[in-house]
């Protein structure tokens, strides 16, 4: 039995856990397909359909594999497994629709569902060395993609073409998939924190923000750099240096024992004192793992205390509508007395 599964079973006591979230299923079983898990001291079952049966057998040795078919629905198989295990059903309270939950409760004999209270997510928040190694490989591909982009990028290409170039490079160099849809935002579009790549042509005088990442072994990287195309407006040069200082100061402060609120304040205070507090509207960072946004949050609303093994981003930004914006982001592993930065690309302003 894996250490992850042992820790999970300790957390649910004598209950029977039902899991539907793909990221939680993969974390506990290694199964990459669709369906559900039923987990207890006496039962470890993957419930799926014909499309994934053979894959489940390969990916999750030692697990019982059950397949839906005909009148045998997923919920019926789940209910059968819960009855066989003989415990109280526990499930994620933020995934099933109301209709699906009612149907499952009916098949469980009207049993009132009890919440797992985020147990799988709390276990996933601390990454082990295997998980960190996957994220490090993903981050290395991301760094290499950025280095390649710098040799390719020039005035006259579009944001969409730049995003495609990153996509092709990363998948051609070992990435399993993208972590999220690439952001390539130039000129006035760079003031949009989550801009969608468009057919806008990149030209002299633009800043261009690239926010992208990839997956390796189902773990994400996350990376942002802003570059200049030729000579840029002095105001953009100014905010670049402010954002860079905020990023570096936050990295200096990053270590176990800090709260999400304290980390956010380090960068936010620098940007506010420079007169741009209203132009930094998002939080300093977030957790990363199997999902691109996980716990913990580095924000003014987070009292989570950072622990060794947490993976977090440090990504301050300043956004000036009509002119452009700057964001600089690193992906780090929290350590007892500091952090490990998985990103190696330079953060000094690069002018092409």
Domains of the chain (ranges; CATH) run 3-124 (3.40.350.10), 129-341 (3.90.230.10)
**Stretch 77-91: mean pLDDT:** 95
Cβ neighbors of 35 (< 8 A, separation 6 or more) are 25, 46, 47, 48, 49, 52, 56, 74
Give the span between the Cα atoms of 328 and 343, in whole angstroms: 11
Q: What is the DSSP string of 19-52?
A: E--HHHHHHHH---SSSEEEE-SS-EEEEE-GGG
**The pLDDT value given to residue 2:** 81
pLDDT band at 205 (very low <50, low <70, confident <90, very high): very high
This prediction has a pTM of 0.95
Residue 112 scores a pLDDT above 90: no
What does the CA dihedral 141, 143, 144, 150 come to, rounded to 10 degrees?
140
**The pLDDT value given to residue 82:** 96
**Stretch 46-72: mean pLDDT:** 97
**The pLDDT value given to residue 1:** 61
Q: What are phi and psi of 326, to 5 degrees?
A: -140, 135
**Stretch 271-278: mean pLDDT:** 98
Give the span between the Cα atoms of 131 and 255, in whole angstroms: 19
**The pLDDT value given to residue 46:** 98
**The pLDDT value given to residue 154:** 97
* 282 beta partners: none
**The pLDDT value given to residue 113:** 76
**The pLDDT value given to residue 311:** 98
């Amino acid at each position: 039995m894996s250490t992850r599964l042992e820790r999970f079973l300790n957390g649910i006591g004598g209950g029977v856990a039902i899991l539907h979230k793909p990221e939680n299923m993969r974390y506990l079983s290694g199964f990459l397909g669709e369906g559900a898990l039923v987990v207890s001291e006496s039962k470890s079952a993957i419930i799926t359909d014909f499309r994934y049966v053979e894959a489940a057998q390969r990916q999750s040795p030692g697990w019982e594999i059950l397949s839906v078919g005909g009148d045998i629905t997923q919920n019926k198989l789940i209910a059968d497994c819960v009855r066989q295990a003989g415990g109280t059903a526990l499930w994620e309270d933020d995934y099933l629709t109301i209709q699906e939950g009612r149907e499952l409760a009916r098949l469980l004999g009207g049993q009132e569902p009890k919440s797992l209270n985020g147990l799988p997510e709390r276990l996933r928040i601390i990454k082990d060395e295997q998980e960190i190694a996957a994220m490090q490989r993903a981050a290395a591909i991301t760094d290499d993609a950025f280095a390649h982009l710098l040799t390719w990028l020039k005035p006259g290409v579009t944001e969409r073409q730049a995003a495609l170039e990153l996509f092709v490079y990363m998948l051609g160099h070992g990435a399993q998939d993208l972590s999220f849809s690439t952001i390539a935002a130039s000129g006035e579009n760079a003031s949009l924190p989550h801009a969608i790549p468009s057919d806008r042509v990149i030209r002299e005088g633009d800043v261009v923000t690239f926010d992208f990442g990839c997956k390796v072994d189902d773990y994400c990287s996350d990376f942002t750099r802003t570059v200049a195309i030729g000579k840029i407006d002095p105001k953009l040069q100014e905010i670049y240096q402010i954002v860079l200082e905020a990023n570096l100061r936050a990295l200096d402060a990053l270590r176990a024992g800090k709260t999400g609120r304290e980390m956010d304040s380090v960068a936010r205070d620098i940007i506010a004192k420079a007169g741009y507090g209203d132009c930094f509207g998002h939080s300093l960072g977030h957790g990363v793992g199997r999902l691109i946004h996980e716990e913990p949050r580095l924000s003014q609303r987070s009292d989570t205390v950072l622990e060794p093994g947490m993976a977090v981003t440090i990504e301050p930004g300043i956004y000036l509508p009509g002119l452009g914006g700057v964001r600089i982001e690193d992906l780090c592993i929290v350590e007892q007395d500091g952090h490990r930065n998985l990103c190696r690309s330079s953060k000094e302003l690069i002018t092409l």
